[in-house]
């Protein structure tokens, strides 16, 4: 069987094929009008004609939300509360805005319906669901040609009976099929009505879009092939499951990169990594302390989405980020970006503002002959004169200004790295920085220096880590149960019982995904807090949970409150079905100085002055090559900058291992 990872991005569609241990890479232009087209063309191009497992990540769901091109979706909710979705948390997104704006809700008021029903906060029925009123609402759904429905009643996470009845009635009357109805207690069995309603609305809004898209793919797959879909938490599921958990796929794009990065780094012997995925408009960073970390909430276009997702911080600093001097005389970078068009000034496509890439080019860190394999000429002279103008305003030299642009971009990224590491109680000095994306390897060492990170790893193929991540991702299913009980002597027994139930459910589900029993793994976790707090700490479900909680609270916040009651908010189960992964064979390491890969010299500007430094061709560097910076290492989709006092070696998988020399 062939394994294929397909990452459909905005500009390129990348395929990585693994066939009996051999890796094949293919890149082609995306087809945004119908993303499946590029994927199917790519499969044909790499000769995948039958018997393949195709793992796939796409931005179809994300784009449906950003462009408001999802289904005609209705909301059915408790009487009195149809505006919860629009009021949100009643705050404005920006504190100081003369004309504050909020993206419109996914479901307009006219399609938000109320029915009489009410539970109390324990889930007890105060007002039974009014079936007559419900039927009237369902008539309206037909009349309005509604394609999908989100149902969210107050306290449904304690008692889902009313939500279930609504779906049952919709199906019974033949108005929609079961998968077209998102019940909030299934999508997010947790308190906070706005976040739950919003998550259910996102789910319902993208379900028909995803479903149509996946159907189209499946209809065109090579024979005897299966389709897996990436979720935001870095796991894959069958396309059938993805249809029913549409919200889970919304932010899957950056997740695949983290999974790919972690796989490559672990193979090389580094499992404590911080990923640095720097592209044209933004940079994604994520912390993997032995495993990728997840969190439980995010936002998309101002809409809260509470799903399990990889803990990725995005910052608006990429190669195309624009530099400008503000009215107070400080140099700012981004978040505005020159994008792919017109792009940086050096692209010569009419860009009029200095960008991070321009700064790199002026300093000599990019090279016309080797940028994108020499296919893209660099217009250095215009960039130089524009940088000169900007530098004059700052009373700096052109090169100082360029160095400054890079420093500020790095500071912005540094702040994101701090958010995922220091702010979560991890010391970045214990990690390896895994650099990828077009610009990551160019900036990685200097960012590492800022944070005293001792090591940078640049993978063999930094441009296709997302596709690779798809190839190696395991099947992951998450389960949760609201508990909301103080810890007592009986707790351990009760939790064990719930965990057992969830595991049985998970075993059934994983079996349906084709996972054999010996490949199933389960991790139970508890969300805990002091009674009266609103935010939980998540702890593994073993050992003395109360003692561990006090300990963790003290570690994170500096104090524990041993006299306070500790309560369990949720029990969570993560079920993992490991999939067969392509094997990567290490090559023999033969020590050499890399000189056979040397392709010339070039003048590069440093803070201390200009210096001629050697250039290397990445493709010619063999395992065992090692030398000291400064140097530039070129490859088709990326350039690695090795500053002075940094040392590089090529490992047996042809990764670059860069280490700072004290």
Residues 16 and 464: beta-carbon distance below 8 Å: yes
Counting DSSP H helices and E strands in the chain, the numbers are: 16, 34
20 part of the interface to another protein, by CB under 8 A:
no
> Other CB atoms closer than 10 Å to residue 539's CB: what's the count?
18
Residue that the structure tokens 């561990």 belong to: 548
Query: Among residues 379 and 400, whose Cβ is nearest to another protein?
Result: 400
Q: Kindly state whether residue 325 participates in binding another protein, applying the rule CB under 8 A.
A: yes
Q: Does 549 bind another protein (CB under 8 A)?
A: no
Span interacting with another protein, options 92-100, 205-213, 236-244, 500-508, rule CB under 8 A: 92-100
Q: Is 95 in the site for another protein (CB under 8 A)?
A: yes
**Token pair in block for residue 497:** 């019982």
Closest CB to another protein among 225 and 298?
298
Nearest Cα to Cα of residue 64 among 166, 203, 223, 266: 203
Does residue 470 come out as left (phi exceeding 0), alpha (psi in the -120 to 50 range) or beta?
Answer: alpha
Which window, 176-184, 388-396, 542-550, 593-601, contacts another protein (CB under 8 A)? 388-396
Q: Which of 165, 169, 295, 418 binds another protein (CB under 8 A)?
A: 418
Residue closer to another protein by CB (options 317, 466) is: 317
The answer to whether 561 contacts another protein (rule: CB under 8 A) is yes
Nearest Cα neighbor of 411 from 326, 334, 339, 320 is 334
Query: Is the Cβ of residue 372 or residue 394 nearer to another protein in the bound state?
Result: 394
Of 28, 171, 394, 589, the one binding another protein (CB under 8 A) is: 394
Min dist CB 276 to another protein, Å, is 17
- Closer of 14 and 193 to another protein (Cβ): 193
- Report CA-CA distances (Å) from 616 to 104, 168, 268, 591, 657: 51, 65, 22, 17, 15
Determine, following the binding rule CB under 8 A, whether residue 102 of this chain makes contact with another protein.
yes
Query: 102: closest CA among 111, 110, 114, 93?
Result: 93
Nearest distance in Å: CB 526, another protein? 17
Interface pick for another protein out of 20, 21, 67, 89 (rule CB under 8 A): 89
Interface with another protein (CB under 8 A), residue from 46, 84, 499, 658: 84
Binding to another protein (CB under 8 A) within 178-217 occurs at 191-195
* Backbone dihedral angles phi then psi of residue 147, each to the nearest 5 degrees: -100, -20
- By rule CB under 8 A, what count of residues binds another protein? 64
CB 45 within 8 A of CB 14: no
Which residue from 143, 559, 590, 662 is in contact with another protein, where contact means CB under 8 A? 559
125 makes contact with another protein (CB under 8 A): no
From the list 50-58, 90-98, 166-174, 250-258, the region that binds another protein by CB under 8 A is 90-98
Query: Residue 460 in 3-state DSSP?
Result: coil
Degrees to nearest 5, angle at CA 238 with 233 and 244: 75
Task: Dig out the tokens for 120 from the structure.
Answer: 């109390």
Pick the binder of another protein from 21, 33, 67, 91 (CB under 8 A).
Answer: 91
**Structural element, H or E, at residue 61:** helix 60-66
- Using CA atoms, how far residue 409 sits from 287, 315, 325, 359, in Å, is 20, 10, 14, 11
CA nearest to 646, candidates 428, 449, 400, 431: 449
d(CA 252, CA 448): 27
If binding is defined by CB under 8 A, does position 154 make contact with another protein? yes
CB of 155 to another protein, least distance (A): 6
CA distance 619 to 446: 24
Q: Is 80 a binder of another protein (CB under 8 A)? A: yes
Q: How far apart are CA 322 and CA 355, in angstroms?
A: 4
Q: 160: cis peptide before it, omega within 30°?
A: no
Stretch that binds another protein, among 250-258, 260-268, 271-279, 528-536 (CB under 8 A): 528-536
Applying CB under 8 A, the span of 15-23, 210-218, 367-375, 397-405 interacting with another protein comes to 397-405
Q: Does 412 bind another protein (CB under 8 A)?
A: yes
SS3 label, residue 424: helix
DSSP states along 501-520: HHHHHHHHHHHHTT--GGGE
> Which of 50, 83, 178, 369: binder of another protein (CB under 8 A)?
83
Distance between CA 574 and CA 104 in Å, rounded? 34
Which range binds another protein by CB under 8 A, 36-44, 260-268, 390-398, 638-646? 390-398
Judge contact between 207 and 179, C-beta under 8 A: yes
For residues 7 and 57, the answer to whether their CB atoms sit within 8 Å is: yes
User: Minimum Å distance from CB 144 to another protein?
Assistant: 20
Distance between CA atoms of 572 and 480, rounded to whole angstroms?
A: 4
Residue 426 interacts with another protein (CB under 8 A): yes or no: no
Among 121, 374, 580, 595, binds another protein (CB under 8 A): 121
Q: Check binding of 326 to another protein (CB under 8 A).
A: yes
> Which is nearest to 11 in space by CA: 354, 341, 361, 460?
341
Q: Is 389 helix (H, G, I), strand (E, B) or coil?
A: helix
The answer to the question of residue 97 lying near another protein (CB under 8 A) is yes
Q: Which of 42, 160, 404, 441 binds another protein (CB under 8 A)?
A: 404
Closest CA to 605 of 331, 365, 408, 409: 365
308 is a contact residue toward another protein (CB under 8 A): no
Q: Which two tokens stand for residue 39?
A: 């994927």
564 touches another protein (CB under 8 A)? yes
Place of tokens 């500009």: 11
Instruction: Give the range of 132-140, 223-231, 393-401, 440-448 binding another protein by CB under 8 A.
Output: 393-401
Q: Which one among 72, 415, 525, 581 touches another protein, defined by CB under 8 A?
A: 415
Q: Report if residue 90 touches another protein, rule: CB under 8 A.
A: yes
Binding segment (CB under 8 A) for another protein, from list 10-18, 128-136, 252-260, 525-533: 525-533
Residue whose C-alpha is closest to residue 280's, from 360, 365, 350: 360
340, 396, 589, 599: which one contacts another protein (CB under 8 A)? 396
Shortest CB 393 distance to another protein, Å: 8
- Which stretch in 18-26, 223-231, 340-348, 392-400 sits in contact with another protein by CB under 8 A? 392-400
Residues 28-57 that bind another protein (CB under 8 A): none
Q: Measure the CA–CA gap between 219 and 203, rounded to whole angstroms.
A: 23
User: Which residues contribute to the site for another protein (CB under 8 A)?
Assistant: 80-84, 86-87, 89-92, 95-102, 109, 120-121, 154-155, 191-195, 325-333, 394-396, 400, 403-404, 407-408, 411-412, 414-415, 418, 423, 530, 532-535, 553, 556-559, 561, 564
């Amino acid at each position: 069987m062939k394994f294929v990872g397909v990452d459909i991005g905005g500009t390129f569609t990348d395929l990585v094929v693994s066939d009996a241990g051999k890796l094949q890479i293919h890149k082609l232009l995306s087809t945004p009008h119908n993303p499946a087209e590029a994927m199917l063309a790519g499969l044909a191009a790499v000769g995948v004609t039958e018997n393949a497992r195709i793992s796939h990540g796409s931005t179809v769901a994300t784009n449906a939300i950003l462009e408001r091109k999802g289904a005609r979706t209705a909301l059915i909710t408790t009487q009195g509360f149809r505006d919860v979705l629009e009021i949100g948390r009643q705050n404005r997104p920006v504190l100081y805005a003369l004309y504050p704006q909020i993206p419109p809700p996914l479901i307009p008021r006219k399609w938000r319906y109320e029915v009489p029903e009410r539970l109390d906060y324990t889930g007890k029925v105060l007002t039974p669901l009014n079936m007559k009123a419900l039927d009237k609402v369902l008539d309206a759904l037909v009349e309005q040609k509604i394609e999908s429905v989100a149902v969210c009643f107050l306290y449904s996470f304690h008692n889902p009976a009313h939500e279930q009845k609504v779906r049952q009635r919709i199906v019974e009357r033949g108005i929609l099929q079961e998968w077209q109805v998102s019940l909030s207690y299934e999508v997010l069995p947790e308190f906070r009505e706005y976040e739950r309603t919003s998550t259910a609305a996102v789910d319902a809004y993208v379900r028909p879009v995803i479903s149509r898209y996946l159907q189209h793919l499946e209809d065109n797959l090579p024979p005897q092939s299966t389709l897996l879909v990436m979720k935001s938490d870095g796991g894959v599921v069958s396309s059938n499951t993805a249809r029913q958990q549409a919200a889970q796929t919304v932010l899957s794009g950056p997740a695949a990169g983290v999974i790919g990065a972690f796989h490559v780094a672990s193979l090389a012997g580094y499992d404590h990594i911080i990923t640095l995925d720097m592209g044209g408009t933004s940079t994604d960073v994520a912390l993997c302390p032995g495993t990728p970390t997840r969190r439980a909430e995010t936002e998309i276009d101002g809409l809260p989405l509470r799903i399990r997702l990889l803990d990725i911080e995005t910052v608006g600093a990429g190669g195309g980020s624009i530099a400008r001097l503000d009215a107070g005389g400080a140099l700012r970078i981004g978040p505005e970006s020159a994008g792919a068009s017109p792009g940086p000034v050096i692209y010569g496509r009419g860009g009029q503002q200095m960008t991070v890439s321009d700064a790199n080019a002026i300093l000599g860190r990019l090279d016309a002959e080797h940028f994108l394999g020499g296919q893209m000429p660099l217009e250095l002279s215009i960039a130089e004169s524009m940088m000169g103008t900007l530098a004059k305003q700052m009373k700096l030299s052109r090169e100082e200004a360029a160095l400054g642009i890079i420093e500020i971009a790095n500071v912005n990224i540094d702040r994101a790295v701090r958010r995922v590491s220091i702010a979560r109680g991890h010391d970045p000095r214990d990690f390896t920085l895994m650099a990828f994306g077009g610009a990551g390897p160019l900036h990685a060492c200097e960012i590492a220096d800022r944070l005293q990170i001792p090591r940078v790893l640049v993978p063999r193929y930094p441009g296709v880590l997302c596709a690779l991540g798809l190839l190696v991702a395991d099947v992951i299913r998450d389960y949760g149960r609201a508990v909301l009980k103080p810890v007592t002597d009986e707790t351990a027994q009760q939790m064990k019982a719930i965990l057992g139930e969830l595991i049985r459910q998970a075993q059934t589900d994983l079996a349906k995904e084709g996972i054999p029993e010996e490949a199933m793994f389960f991790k139970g976790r508890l969300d805990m807090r002091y009674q009266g707090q609103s935010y939980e700490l998540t702890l593994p479900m073993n050992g003395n949970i109360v003692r561990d909680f006090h300990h963790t609270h003290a570690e994170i916040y500096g104090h524990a409150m041993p006299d306070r009651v500790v309560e369990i908010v949720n029990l969570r189960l993560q079920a993992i079905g490991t999939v067969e992964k392509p094997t990567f064979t290490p090559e023999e390491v033969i020590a050499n100085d890399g000189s056979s890969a040397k392709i010339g010299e070039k003048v590069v500007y440093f803070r201390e002055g200009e210096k001629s430094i050697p250039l290397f061709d990445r493709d010619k560097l063999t395992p065992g090559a090692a030398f000291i910076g400064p140097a530039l290492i070129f490859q088709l989709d990326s350039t690695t900058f090795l500053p002075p006092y940094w040392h590089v070696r090529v490992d047996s998988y042809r990764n670059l291992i860069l280490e700072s020399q004290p």
